[in-house]
Amino acid sequence: MAVLLSVLAAGSARAAHRSDNWARGQFAAAERRREALNGHPAQDRTRPEYQRTIAAFRQVYYSAPTSTKADPSVVAVAELMVEMGRRFDDTKILRKAIGQYEFLRREYPGSKYRFEALFTIGEIYKDDLDDSGHARAAFSEFLKRYPRHHLVEEARKGLDQAQDRQAAVKSSAPADRPAPGTAKDEATRGGKPADQEPIQNSRLPRITGIRHWSTPDYTRVAIDLEQEAKFESQRIANPDRIFFDLRDTRLASTLVGKTFDVDDGFLKRIRVAQFEPGRSRIVLEVDDLSDYSAFLLPNPARLIIDIHGANAPSEPLLAREEWPAKSEESAPPKSERASLPKSENTTIKKKIVEADDEDEDDSEAVSPEPRRANGGDGENDKPKAHSARAREARPTARGDRSLIRALGLKIGKIVIDPGHGGYDAGTVGPNGLLEKDLVLDVSKRLGRLLDSRLGAEVDFTRRDDTFIPLETRTAIANQDQADLFISVHANASRDPDARGVETYYLNFTSSPEALEVAARENAVSDKSVHELQDLVKKIALKEKIEESREFAANVESALHGGLAARNPGLRDRGVKKAPFVVLIGANMPSILAEISFVSNPGDERRLQTSEYRQRIAECLYRGIARYAGGLSGVRVASKIEKNAGQ
């Protein structure tokens, strides 16, 4: 491991002794950065973004070379280099990617990724660098070393193609034929017209990546595409599996023959293959009771597949295992989180508290600053355990008592979704205020209030100016096993005098105005008409819809009541229903709040002030607290307390 040791010697001596837990956390942070990069359309991804993501993965194996996340980090760097080289048509970066795969084979010879590394080297030489000699050598070595590997057939095809191409070049090229890879060579390669195979196939859009998230209720798979493609699916028994064929596509070399082990109860593994030229196949090995739905999303193009238990009950608020709090930047995936340590000297205690009594009073004035107790700063004031007893949940405003209320279920974790982010600025005000910046600031203020006053555990779909795909936002909330989900947005209208606040919950609507708002918020993620049946299945969960309506009514009342007191003319635009993509698939009561009209010049001036943003956050907090107060209480995050005498 001479190369690796020399690299480490140049850095901090103690960096080589980073723990495996540290490596897992750093790897998760790098994965989240990669997720944000994948959320951009391919043409918008920049070299610095790729370089920062690569650096995040490199930090893992530089600082923890013996950790379980070292070799997957090496592979991630190689994959990013391949993608970057293709994005910018840079053969130098592609050769560096080959060097990265060779580094893996040399420094981690027992890695489970060594097979795909050698195969991918051959693919890059063949498809990207047009270097038939090195491609033949790589495929030949693969067949010699791993004669029983599942990629053997693909390697034989690659070897045959490389040999055919090399033979064609030798038989048809003149003595002064330009070197492989030059512009002139591209037009005459193999003596074949540019519109014939294999050149035609090489121009098909690639499948560039596969991602997946697991929750107790479903598994979501995202297949990243260079551009939209048609797909068809079929389910086959013995063993139970679902395959998706994407026509007129080809696999990126990093995906050919790749297998993803999931094994989460719904989905066992994902297998990828180039079924035939121009047809890529994704095979999902599933549990025999699983059901599935799929839909395409654009900009960037991807195919989303959701795997559900066929008769799995919806349990959005049931008790769950407690996990340590997340770090500010990221947290490891659920499968990698460690449970809280237990010992004879440590106990885990839970408290049940209610929303503050004064938050139940609709007439209470809302202070523009955080409430302080005993001279505290507001942010650090923890909820009072003044009502540790559980109480009966109240019926909804319509007099209904849902299963959630009948079972006495409580609020534990709340996920806040600041809308837009990154390249998606959202609404831009007449004087330049960006919706993405406004809602992030308000969301952070709201998070501090929920933590300090309500005692709920809070998480965010984004904490900085990062674009997160809409389907990922819902997956984050489900993966975190959240009990409430609130997406924060600001409105816009062609009428500069339009003002007011409104709150949405997920359902169908015939209102043209509501549909217009939904269309604007869904602009970065629209669905095709034939997927309507899948959408119906997702949003027809009566319990969630009823609770979401109640949640939305509480927030709308608090939002308008708190802002209108000092803002005459502010309109209460009411509670509405609309098919927002960001709410589809959420397993918990979920709403989308439009906190003001950025397009209104007067409101834009108010929204630029810290005082008004804090007031909005206070109002949102009030609405959430009222909703939580209607249930049986709030389950405060677990506290670890040392026994007396420790």
pLDDT tens string 193-219: 433 444 345 578 889 889 888 777 778
Q: In the beta sheet, which residues pair with residue 280? A: 246, 274
- pLDDT on residue 101: 95
Q: How many CB atoms lie within 10 A of CB 531?
A: 15
Task: Tell the CATH topology of 410-635.
Answer: Aminopeptidase (3.40.630)
Specify the amino acid at residue 351: K
CA-to-CA distance for 607 and 296, rounded, in angstroms? 36
Q: Which residues, in sequence order, are CB contacts of 408 under 8 Å at separation 6+?
A: 390, 392, 393, 631, 632
Helices and strands counted in the chain (H then E): 18, 20
Least confident of 35-39, 261-265, 530-534, 546-550: 530-534
Average pLDDT over residues 465-492: 86
Q: What is the pLDDT of residues 30-81, one digit of tens each?
A: 988 888 787 777 788 899 999 999 999 999 999 999 999 999 999 999 999 9
Q: Tokens at residue 144, please?
A: 């010699």
CA-to-CA distance for 390 and 351, rounded, in angstroms? 10
Instruction: Give the residue with greater pLDDT, 209 vs 530.
Output: 209
The answer to whether residues 132 and 166 touch, using CB atoms and an 8 Å cutoff, is yes
Give domain 206-309's CATH number out of 2.60.40.3500, 3.40.190.10, 3.40.50.720, 2.40.30.10: 2.60.40.3500
- Quickly state the pLDDT bin for 642 (edges 50, 70, 90): very low
CA-to-CA distance for 54 and 126, rounded, in angstroms? 24
Q: Tokens at residue 257, please?
A: 């023959």
Least confident of 3-17, 320-334, 416-430, 518-532: 320-334
- Could you tell me what percent of the chain has a pLDDT over 70? 67
Give, in words, the CATH class of 2-171: mainly alpha
- pLDDT on residue 508: 47
- Quickly state the pLDDT bin for 11 (edges 50, 70, 90): very low
Q: Which residues, in sequence order, are CB contacts of 538 under 8 Å at separation 6+?
A: 293, 306, 584, 585
Instruction: Give the residue with greater pLDDT, 644 vs 408.
Output: 408
- pLDDT on residue 446: 96
- Quickly state the pLDDT bin for 17 (edges 50, 70, 90): low
- pLDDT on residue 519: 64
Q: Tokens at residue 608, please?
A: 């630029």
Provide the residue count of the chain. Answer: 646
| Domain extents in the chain | 2-171, 206-309, 410-635
Q: Give pairs for 338-341: CB < 8 Å, separation 24+.
A: 338/21, 340/638, 340/640
- pLDDT on residue 406: 56
Antiparallel, parallel or unpaired: β 352-353 and 634-635:
antiparallel
R_g over Cα of the chain = 27
- pLDDT on residue 584: 67
Q: What mean pLDDT value characterizes the chain?
A: 74
Q: What's CA 491's distance to the chain center, in Å?
A: 24
- For the cut 80, the answer to whether the pLDDT of residue 224 exceeds it is yes
Q: Tokens at residue 504, please?
A: 């949405």
Average pLDDT over residues 419-431: 89
- pLDDT on residue 634: 67
- Quickly state the pLDDT bin for 191 (edges 50, 70, 90): very low
Average pLDDT over residues 238-264: 87
- Quickly state the pLDDT bin for 348 (edges 50, 70, 90): very low
Instruction: Give the residue with greater pLDDT, 69 vs 634.
Output: 69
- For the cut 80, the answer to whether the pLDDT of residue 187 exceeds it is no
CA-to-CA distance for 397 and 553, rounded, in angstroms? 9
- pLDDT on residue 14: 45
CA-to-CA distance for 319 and 350, rounded, in angstroms? 12
User: What phi, psi does 396 have (nearest 5°)?
Assistant: -70, 175
Look up tokens 């490389």; give the residue.
Answer: 162
- pLDDT on residue 520: 66
- Quickly state the pLDDT bin for 283 (edges 50, 70, 90): very high
Least confident of 33-47, 310-324, 537-551, 599-613: 310-324
CA-to-CA distance for 308 and 315, rounded, in angstroms? 13
- pLDDT on residue 526: 44
- pLDDT on residue 317: 26
Instruction: Give the residue with greater pLDDT, 636 vs 326.
Output: 636
Which SS3 state, helix, strand or coil, does residue 147 take?
coil
- For the cut 90, the answer to whether the pLDDT of residue 621 exceeds it is yes
Instruction: Give the residue with greater pLDDT, 150 vs 73.
Output: 73
The answer to whether residues 97 and 88 touch, using CB atoms and an 8 Å cutoff, is no
Q: What is the pLDDT of residues 351-400, one digit of tens each?
A: 333 333 333 333 333 333 333 333 333 444 443 433 334 556 676 767 66
Instruction: Give the residue with greater pLDDT, 498 vs 640.
Output: 498
CA-to-CA distance for 173 and 49, rounded, in angstroms? 41
Look up tokens 């990546």; give the residue.
Answer: 209
